[in-house]
């Protein structure tokens, strides 16, 4: 099963290196200069620059007419806000019988809807899955063992699992696409709150309470939308949430720390040099929650912080507005 990864950020680059260990893989970049350097020097100049990309990873640019030639699995590793453009650029080019696997964790900033809906609308006959879980690209690039969740088209999910399973990468199949997708979107918002509390000097007790409340908030939204609660208590939910809220490599946690340090939200991605999806997801997530009558107190404070409310006031509001009843 020939894998073609579209998107040369950290996760796309690490994923191509992972995929080539168990079969043929190609990495397609949108930036031609970066692609050329990657092809000749085997390093991604901007992301994971210490990683040597094996010669066996083919490199192409999106403008290359053969970029997707022979693809049996097209892996999408672009930010949520680029998805609309990438869907447009790819819809006529994805080979018949190929499946699409999205690594993007977020919602469509334009419509507030789920990214899977974009793909289903654009390519109604193409099997589609998402891959999520506690998957910091940096650690996967280092060769660390990792588990992940694949959800969506059942047949494609089984083929993705077979194609990618190795000693160090274990994808599990979950039949709850909706829940899996919402976990990936919502956990980045909670991670911003986690970064804010950490940045303000709160300790591990507070962080653990915040993660617990965040998990409850995610599951409340998910089950109200029709997802299964179990998804939120598994790898895609608590697993990815813990990794993103506590991990050294988490950009969304780092975004929260920068907010706590007084940096305006619109300067954070420039500082990080990478996308922090939670910043783009928060308002869509709140709109989705409002549409099903669910309150998301943590996400609401993150939205306020992104809008300029002092993070100390946001965290204080969360503390004093603690739930009345709780397990």
Query: Annotated catalytic sites, by residue?
Result: 187
Sequential DSSP letters for 255-268: HHHHHHTT--HHHH
In eight-state DSSP terms, residue 20 is G
Site residues (CB under 8 A) for a second copy, limited to 120-149? 133-136, 139-140, 142, 144-147, 149
Q: Closest distance between a second copy and the C-beta of residue 23, in Å? A: 21
270/273 Cα distance (integer angstroms): 5
305/204 Cα distance (integer angstroms): 21
Window contacting a second copy (CB under 8 A); options: 55-63, 107-115, 277-285, 317-325 = 317-325
Site residues (CB under 8 A) for a second copy, limited to 145-164? 145-147, 149
Contact call for residue 238 and a second copy (CB under 8 A): yes
Contact call for residue 166 and a second copy (CB under 8 A): no
For the chain, the C-alpha Rg in angstroms (whole number) is 19
Q: Closest distance between a second copy and the C-beta of residue 280, in Å? A: 23
Asked if residues 75 and 15 have their Cβ atoms less than 8 Å apart, the reply is: yes
Tokens 């969304």 belong to 252
Binding mask 58-97 for a second copy (x = CB under 8 A): ----------------------------------------
Angle between helices 251-260 and 277-291 (to 10 degrees): 90
Question: What backbone torsions phi and psi does residue 4 show, to the nearest 5 degrees?
Answer: -120, 115
Contact call for residue 184 and a second copy (CB under 8 A): no
Contact call for residue 202 and a second copy (CB under 8 A): yes
b/e 200-224 (16+ beta carbons within 10 angstroms → b)? bebeeebbebbbebbbebbbbbbbe
C-beta closer to a second copy: residue 88 or 142:
142
Interface ranges with a second copy (CB under 8 A): 133-136, 139-140, 142, 144-147, 149, 170, 172-174, 176, 202-209, 211-212, 215-216, 219, 230-231, 233-240, 242-243, 246-249, 319, 322-323, 325-327
């Amino acid at each position: 099963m020939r894998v073609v990864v579209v998107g040369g950020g950290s996760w796309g680059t690490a994923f191509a290196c992972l995929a080539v260990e168990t079969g043929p893989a190609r990495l397609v970049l949108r930036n031609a200069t970066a692609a050329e350097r990657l092809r000749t020097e085997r390093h991604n100049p901007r992301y994971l620059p210490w990683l040597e990309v094996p010669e066996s990873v083919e490199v192409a640019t999106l403008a290359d007419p053969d970029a997707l030639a022979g693809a049996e699995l097209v892996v999408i590793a672009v930010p949520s806000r680029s998805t609309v453009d990438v869907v447009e650029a790819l819809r006529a080019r994805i080979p018949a019988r190929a499946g699409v696997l999205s690594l993007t964790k977020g919602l469509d900033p334009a419509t507030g809807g789920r990214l899977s809906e974009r793909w289903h609308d654009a390519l109604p006959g193409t099997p589609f899955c998402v891959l999520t879980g506690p998957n910091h690209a940096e650690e996967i690039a280092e060769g660390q063992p990792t588990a992940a969740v694949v959800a969506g088209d059942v047949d494609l999910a089984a083929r993705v699992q077979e194609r990618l399973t190795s000693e160090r990468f274990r994808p599990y199949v979950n039949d709850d696409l909706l829940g899996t997708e919402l976990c990936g979107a919502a956990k980045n918002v909670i991670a911003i709150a986690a970064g804010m509390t950490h940045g303000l000097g709160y300790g591990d007790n507070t962080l653990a309470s915040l993660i617990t409340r965040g998990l409850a908030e995610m599951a409340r939204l998910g089950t109200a939308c029709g997802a299964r609660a179990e998804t939120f208590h598994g790898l895609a939910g608590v697993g990815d949430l813990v990794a993103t809220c506590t991990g050294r490599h988490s950009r969304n946690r780092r975004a929260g720390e920068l907010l706590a340090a007084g940096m305006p939200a619109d300067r954070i991605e420039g500082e990080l040099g990478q996308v922090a999806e939670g910043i783009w997801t928060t308002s869509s997530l709140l709109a989705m929650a409002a549409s099903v009558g669910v309150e998301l107190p943590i996400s609401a404070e993150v939205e306020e912080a992104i809008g300029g409310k002092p993070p100390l006031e946001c965290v204080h509001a969360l503390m004093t507005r603690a739930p009345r009843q709780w397990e």
